Amino acid sequence: MGRQTSSARIAIEFARNVKPAASALGGAKGFRGKEITARDVSYVEVERWLGLFHEVVPKAQALKCNDCHGANASRLDWKALGYRGDPQKTGGRKLR
């Protein structure tokens, strides 16, 4: 899963300044059983996670083993992840 991109956050910020669509208000009426107005709607801060099926690159751009492992690999900070170094070289993490 991956965190929502910053460009999507811009869209969310834009949406906060827009009145709820009539379709959204109508859907809320059907759910709550009473009429609601734009004043009844508020926005909350959320963190959205997307499944791996979103934003998958084409096969030609897929990562290879050496993108994360190997002498010139720089995609992952293994020590920040709790490893002594590249687990392919160091043998993994020490269990607590």
**pLDDT for 1:** 45
**pLDDT for 70:** 84
> Band of the pLDDT at 54, cuts 50, 70, 90?
low
What are the residue boundaries of the structural domains of the chain, listed by start?
A: 1-56, 59-96
CA 66 – CA 69 distance, rounded (Å): 5
Residue 15 or residue 38, greater confidence = 38
CA 85 – CA 41 distance, rounded (Å): 49
pLDDT in tens, 16-51: 555 666 666 666 666 667 777 777 777 778 787 767
Q: Indicate whether 8 pLDDT > 60.
A: no
CB 69 within 8 A of CB 86: yes
DSSP letters for 5-18: PHHHHHHHHHHHTS
The torsion of the CA quartet 7, 10, 11, 13, rounded to 10 degrees, works out to 160
Q: Indicate whether 87 pLDDT > 80.
A: yes
The phi, psi pair for 17, rounded to 5°, reads -90, 5
